[in-house]
Amino acid sequence: MKCGLSNLTILKRYLLPDTLATDRKFDAVLQGIGLGVAGLFDSVCNRKLDYLEGAEAVFTGDREHFTLPRYPVVSVTSVEAIGVAGDLPYTINEGSGLIRFFGTIGSERSQVRVVWTGGYWFEALEPDDEGYPSARPAGATELPNDLQAAFLLQCEQVWQTHDRLGTGLVGDGAGSAFLNTRLSTLELVPLVVTMLNGYRRYQLS
């Protein structure tokens, strides 16, 4: 089960004592925390950190370059000016996601679509899922250790704000209620801010 930048097993091992490792009553809220923190990381870093095949970006053609929002790039399927036949010529830096065109493509009213595969790969299956452990896709870059550490540290900060006895965290709608009150006022741990600085995407549009 994908829980942000880890699977549920990793998140539970980090946040729960061994005696609760197999307890499922907190699964929904833990998944919500993980997904919420991962979404916050995407927002702070101005990019998508997780791996995806067939990612798509559409942007205006009044530019000579564009930084794809999901990298490292594994492969590019197509680069096209919407409404114009044929792929556009380009060069790309797979590590940074920077794609360069040979001059300005068009006006601010024209659009370019890029379809590609990229991002950081991590194990999203659980140990009891069929196919576990899954094979890392060819060419994919594994999630860096420091980035996953920042993710777990931030999840821990959110988790520590709840009632230790779990009051209000179980039952119908409990996970959503918890996330609405906690994640809406979430602040990043100072160490996490430092750790994320090296993963920011400096592309304004």
Write out pLDDT tens, residues 119-140: 999 999 999 999 999 999 999 9
Stretch 60-66: mean pLDDT, rounded? 94
Give the bridge partners for 81, in sequence order: 112
Helix (H) or strand (E) holding 44: helix 27-45
Taking the model in full, what pTM does it have? 0.88
Q: Is the pLDDT of residue 42 over 90?
A: yes
Four-residue CA torsion sign, 57, 195, 72, 138: negative
> In the chain, where are the structural domains located?
8-48+121-199, 52-118
What pLDDT band is residue 205 in, cutting at 50, 70 and 90? low
- Whether 178 has a pLDDT exceeding 70, the answer reads no
State how far the alpha carbon of 6 is from the alpha carbons of 35, 146, 176, in Å: 9, 13, 20
Report the alpha-carbon distance of residue 98 to residue 49 in Å, rounded: 15
